[in-house]
A and B are shown apart, each in its own frame.
Chain A
Amino acid sequence: VGKTTIDEDVLDELEDILVSSDVGVETTVKVIKRIEERVARDKYASTAELDSILRDEIAALLTENKSVDNQDSFETEHLPKPYVIMVVGVNGVGKTTTIGKLAHQFHQRGHKVVLGAADTFRAAAVDQLKLWGQRVNVPVIDHGMNTDPSAVAFDALKKGTETGADVIIIDTAGRLHTKVNLMNELSKIKRVMQKIIPDAPHEVLLVLDGSTGQNAVIQAREFTKVTDITALAITKLDGTAKGGVVIGISDEFKIPVKYIGVGEKMDDLQVFDRAEFVDSLFKKIG
């Protein structure tokens, strides 16, 4: 039944698919090795079996997200109140937009949300978040532009706690991980928040642009160094980019992918689904 070995051609094609999805050489080699081992162990594999083995092996690299898999991740009952989410990442990846979408999801389920406009640097960043706040009907705490981001975060937690918020989401300025001062600023924002809520932030969401290549690995590494990243969001997956780099990242840093961004509208946020994501890698692109 089936072939006794997987021939070179099949593996070459597989390699091309993975590499062209930004999975990266190292992770691709790892996946292929795992498949070869499994096939050697199980003695044979037909092409159909190969397909499911492959999907299994890739999915296995993606760290499981216990709170999300098969659950509605926008329920807050089991979470500390207020639940504080700090959103970080390099410039232009989609942090502010993701916050708008998250706020919308929580708000829609009847949770009380407060946003903190702690990007006080990028031109019109505060206005952008405030417009999102209006759009999805949640209040935004801001101190205007060019103010201390830690003070904004502090205030957002204070006001959020006072007004009985279920979820507080803090926007931060985009920063390249190579900029030491800006990276240290994140630790400061966190320390200041802990004066109000000792275990805040409960979640630090690192946003990665789905069209980013191998640099995303370094982003994950460097952001992890300055703050405990608890989850990833991959944006812009509505385009042709596949976001495959996240497989290696999730595996190396043991951080689950929690959300994906699939557009610019408030509803364009989905809870990450491993199987669907792996499927999308193998969908033909134009």
Chain B
Amino acid sequence: MFENLQDKLNNAFRTLKGKDRISDINVAATTKEVRKALVDADVNFKVAKEITDRIREKAIDRKILISVEPGQMFVKIVQEELTELMGGNAEGINIKGDPAVILIAGLQGSGKTTFSGKLASLLKKQGRQVLLTACDVYRPAAIDQLKVLGEQIGVEVYSEPENKNAVSIAQNAVAHAKKSGKKIVIVDTAGRLAVDEVMMKEVEDIKTSVKPSEILFVVDSMTGQDAVNTAKTFNERLDFDGVVLTKLDGDARGGAALSIRQVVEKPIKYISTGEKMEALDSFYPDRMASRILGM
């Protein structure tokens, strides 16, 4: 699909150049190719339009039409632009507080529980006292799942199998952490749809009651056009601090990363690259840009 974006662009320039058209038209045809490639990479179509409009301005500014390799140069501009959009240096998470609470939220099956385990493992390796908290009171065996992970990484898991109130479990976990000298509490929550008012209220209530220093929104990198709707709503309700992009060990282009960044302006803080507890990485905007472009 995209491997040949550069070829396509070169072709577009070649044919149009031959006809001696005015520069605007040449660039318009090629920006259209770029837009298609972005949408094929699951960048939200509105976001893709905004981005390509900007790219087009830049291309015209830099007079790429009179350059020797306009296609190549154009791709470079696209890549720079995407990198900048997802940009900034890798940002850490805020673990101030006694204990610091990290709230994990997102859609069903996005990878929250797995990521909770990974983050706990990472923080533990940094020598911190961590407590995992099982606040998913709905999914069958959700508590067991977190417990298995906790056992694998040697981190205590706080749970109350009989308690169906996620808010009180979170509160009790914080109290338990204080008593037992844990400095960080990671709260794993149930998956929820942005349109599920009762569930969105629940996670909002968890936030209000335990005042997390960091709220992370977990997104599957395979997500399509809907990523913006979901991210927007979660951000409106939780004002989250960062995004975790999961399942990047697959071959999804991950255009959702760009869409979310554009729409909510929150940094991507981690990427998840496997089912094992070690498969956690920092986010690099330039690599993500290349990935989205299929290069």
Contact = CB atoms under 8 A, between A and B. Distances in A.
Interface of A: 16, 19-22, 24-26, 90-94, 100, 121-125, 127-128, 130-132, 135, 176-178, 209, 211-216, 218, 236, 238-242, 245, 264, 285-286
B230 A22 contact: no
Interface string B30-49: 00000010011110111000
A121 B139 CA distance: 18
Contact of A218 (B108, B149, B251): B251
Nearest to B109: A92
Contact of A91 (B45, B194, B223, B275): B275
B82 interface: no
A20 B144 contact: no
Contacts of B110: 92
A123 B108 contact: no
Chain B CB count within 10 A is highest, among A20, A100, A285, for A20
B152 to A, nearest CB: 8
Contacts, number: 140
B122 interface: no
Given A25-B40, A128-B140, A240-B194, A212 B224 contact: yes
Nearest to B108: A236
B193 interface: yes
A20 B45 CA distance: 6
B140 A211 contact: no
Contact of B138 (A22, A132, A264): A264
Contacts of A94: 108-109
A239 B141 contact: no
Contact of A236 (B44, B45, B140, B193): B193
Nearest to A132: B140
Given A91-B247, A239-B193, A213 B141 contact: no
B213 to A, nearest CB: 27
16 contacts: A16-B45, A20-B46, A21-B225, A92-B109, A94-B108, A122-B145, A124-B141, A128-B144, A128-B145, A212-B223, A213-B224, A214-B40, A215-B252, A239-B230, A241-B224, A241-B225
Contact of B222 (A124, A135, A213): A213
Interface residues of B, number: 47
Given A212-B220, A240-B230, 20 more contacts: A16-B45, A19-B225, A20-B46, A20-B225, A92-B108, A100-B140, A123-B113, A124-B144, A124-B147, A124-B148, A127-B140, A177-B250, A178-B251, A209-B109, A212-B224, A213-B222, A215-B252, A239-B107, A239-B230, A241-B224
Contacts of A125: 141
Contacts of A26: 40
Nearest to B190: A264
Contacts of B250: 90, 176-178, 215
Nearest to B152: A123
A238 B109 CA distance: 14
Contacts of A123: 113, 144-146, 148-149, 152
Nearest to B147: A124
A213 B225 contact: yes
Nearest to B46: A20
B226 interface: yes
Given A90-B250, A214-B40, A135 B220 contact: no
A94 to B, nearest CB: 6
Contact of B225 (A22, A121, A178, A215): A22
A92 B226 contact: no
B129 interface: no
Interface string B240-252: 0000000101111
A229 to B, nearest CB: 18
Given A128-B145, A236-B108, A211 B251 contact: no
Nearest to A261: B108
B290 interface: no
Chain A CB count within 10 A is highest, among B107, B226, B230, for B226
B229 A286 contact: yes
Contacts of A213: 42, 222-225, 252, 255-256
A99 to B, nearest CB: 12
Nearest to B112: A92
Given A122-B275, A124-B145, A214 B140 contact: no
A130 B144 CA distance: 12
A239 B220 contact: no
Interface string B89-112: 000000000000000000111110
Given A124-B148, A177-B250, A285-B229, A239 B222 contact: no
